[in-house]
Structure 1
């Protein structure tokens, strides 16, 4: 059974939080899939992960570039897990289909978007009803992550 984490972004953007979480994932020796809702978003995240910090290198590739099965971090719109990644990051309204092929699934949603919040609630109910271990994390006033459920 997969562990699911819901990250409610309120104080930080996805672009600020995602690289940090990907770095922690790689430090554990895990691989990750970042599933976005559009090819344009994949392209935007690809560019961002190369330039988010001057002193960091975050190895990654995008769907369709080839060698998907060898990527430590794969950016995609698809439901495949070609590198047998441990963690799925679902962003910008992307679905969590195939969650059982991962150890951990992180659904990140914008707290300022009522549609994203509503969709996260639907996902929360579905994964809890399916018996998954799910936790809900929200940013505090100071920007720290606090476990709320």
Structure 2
């Protein structure tokens, strides 16, 4: 069964949070797919993952680069899994019809966008009805992620 996590952004931006989550995933030996809501966001993330830190970068690619099977992190707008990822990150309102075959699905949504919050609630209900293990994470005042709900 897929572990599904919802991360509610209120104190930090996606650009701050996503690289850290991807880095942790790679350290655990997981391959990742990041599914974004638009090609513009894919291009932005592709550039950002090279420059988010002076000390490191995250190896990644997108259809602009090709060779998905060689990429530990694949950036896309579609639901495919061309690099054999075990973790899918869904950002910018991207939707997942299915999470089958994944170890983890991570929905990261902007708490300042009411439409995206509504969509996250709908996704929560849909996956809960599918008997998945689901958790909701929110940052505390110090920036640590706290599990606020489990279903």
Q: TM-score, length-normalised on structure 2?
A: 0.96
CA RMSD in angstroms comes to 0.9
State the distance in 2 between where 1:41 and 1:97 align: 20
Of stretches 33-42 and 57-66 in structure 1, the one that deviates more from structure 2 is 57-66
The match for 1:76 is 76
User: Which residues of structure 1 form unaligned runs of 5+?
Assistant: none
Instruction: Give the 4+ runs in structure 1 shifted more than 3 A.
Output: none
Cα offset, 1:64, TM superposition: 4.1
> What does residue 66 of structure 2 align with?
66
Q: When the two structures are superposed, what TM-score results if normalisation uses the length of structure 1?
A: 0.97
Q: What does residue 114 of structure 1 align with?
A: 114
Deviation string 1:77-128 (CA, Å, 9 cap, x unpaired) is 0111011101000000001233112110000000111111100000000000
1:22-33 to 2 correspondence within 5 Å?
22-33=22-33
Q: Which stretches in structure 2 are left out of the alignment for 5+ residues?
A: none
